[in-house]
Structure formats: structure tokens, C-alpha cells
């Protein structure tokens, strides 16, 4: 079983997180989904409802997959040293690091995307690309895989990206059976 860290921060986009998580949830024997944030407890999404963080970034736990959503909150945590350092160290030990929408900005600011191809939300593409250097941004891609890092452009693309990760680990039949 592999452990997936669903990364939370204030004002994350709910569908960026829950769309891909739904794909992984079809394989409960293969993936344990954990929510992680700077602190345990309720983390308010941009749409209003909160999600409970089970783990803190200080727990010392290593995850096999990171899933970083986007949303308005990326503007606030994009400069948070503790948050970005945790992403970087986790990514170095994870088998896969993934992002949806502007979550790729957080990966870029953490240095994870240096020298890699990546994508982000099309409406925020220029804003994200202008804040970063050293990333080969792919404007027209739905999702991009560069080594062990997957980035997607938005929520439906994030679900497709999740299916690609599932296919890599479990096989193409499993991904095809879970596709909505």
C-alpha cells in the first residue's frame, strides 16, 4: 500500500483536491489517502467548507505520493518557507509528486520543477510563469509528466493525471476501470 498526502492550505480549491482523490479512492487496497497541513484540524477551502488535516508537516512522516491542489490560497503559502521546504523534502523522498492547477506554482517555488517541463491552469498561466524561472512551462498541455513529477492544468485534467499515476502503479486496466 502506498500513502498519498493530500496537501491542504487555507483557500485551496476543493475540486483540485477532491477530483483526483476520487480516482485514487477506487483503489483503497492500493492507496492510503492522508490529509496533511501545517497544523492538524480544519483547513478552510476557497469554496467555504473545511477539510480536516490528519497529519502535520512536522510529523516526520514520508509519503509515497504528494497531491498539491491550486486555488487562491497559493498566493499566501507561495512565500511560506516552512510549507515550501516541506514540499521540497517530501518530493525528494516521494515516488511521485503531483499538482493540479496553480498547485504547480508551489512546486516551482519549492524548486521541485527546476529544469522540468510542467503546466498549470490556463487562465493563470502567464501569472504563474512570470513568477518562476527555470521551468519549461507547457501552455497547451492538459497534464505533463517529467520523471516522477506530474502537473495538470485544471480539475478535469487533474483527474486524468491521477488516472495516469494509477496506471503507472497498478496497470492500464485499473485506470480504465476507474475512469468516470
Q: Which domain holds residue 154?
A: 2-178
User: Which contacts of 157-161 are long-range, i.e. CB under 8 A and separated by 24 or more positions?
Assistant: 157/100, 158/16, 158/19, 158/20, 158/69, 158/100, 158/101, 159/19, 159/20, 159/22, 159/23, 161/20, 161/98, 161/100
The whole-number pLDDT of residue 176 equals: 64
**Cβ within 8 Å of residue 3, ≥6 positions away:** 31, 32, 34, 61, 63, 64, 65
Q: What is the pTM of this model?
A: 0.94
pLDDT at 178: 64
Q: For residue 12, what is the DSSP state?
A: B
Local confidence pLDDT in tens for the 180 residues of the chain? 999 999 999 999 999 999 999 999 999 999 999 999 999 999 999 988 999 999 999 999 999 999 999 999 999 887 789 999 999 999 999 999 999 999 999 999 999 999 999 999 999 999 999 999 999 999 999 999 999 999 999 888 999 999 999 998 888 766 566 665
The domain tally of the chain equals: 1
State the first-to-last Cα distance of the chain, in angstroms, to the nearest integer.
Answer: 23
**Would residue 121 show up in a list of annotated catalytic residues for this protein?**
no
| Contacts (Cβ under 8 Å, ≥6 apart) of 124 | 70, 101, 102, 105
- Residue 154 is predicted with a pLDDT of 87
54, 106 contact by CB (below 8 A): no
CATH of the domain at 169: 3.40.50.880
Among the listed residues 101, 106, 128, 170, the single catalytic one is 101
- Residue 3 grid coordinates: 500513502
Amino acid at each position: 500500500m502506498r500513502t498519498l498526502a493530500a496537501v491542504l492550505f487555507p483557500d485551496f480549491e476543493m475540486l483540485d483536491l477532491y477530483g483526483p482523490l476520487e480516482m485514487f479512492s477506487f483503489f483503497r487496497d492500493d492507496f492510503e489517502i492522508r490529509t496533511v497541513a501545517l497544523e492538524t484540524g480544519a483547513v478552510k477551502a476557497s469554496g467555504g467548507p473545511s477539510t480536516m488535516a490528519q497529519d502535520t508537516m512536522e510529523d516526520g512522516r514520508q509519503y509515497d505520493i504528494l497531491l498539491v491542489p491550486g486555488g487562491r490560497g497559493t498566493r499566501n503559502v507561495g512565500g511560506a518557507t516552512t510549507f515550501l521546504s516541506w514540499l521540497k523534502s517530501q518530493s525528494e523522498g516521494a515516488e511521485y509528486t503531483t499538482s493540479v492547477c496553480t498547485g504547480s506554482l508551489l512546486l516551482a517555488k519549492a524548486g521541485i520543477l527546476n529544469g522540468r517541463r510542467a503546466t498549470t491552469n490556463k487562465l493563470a498561466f502567464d501569472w504563474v510563469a512570470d513568477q518562476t524561472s527555470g521551468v519549461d512551462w507547457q501552455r497547451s498541455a492538459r497534464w505533463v509528466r517529467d520523471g516522477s513529477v506530474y502537473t495538470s492544468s485544471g480539475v478535469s485534467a487533474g483527474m486524468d493525471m491521477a488516472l495516469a499515476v494509477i496506471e503507472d502503479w497498478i496497470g492500464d486496466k485499473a485506470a480504465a476501470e476507474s475512469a468516470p
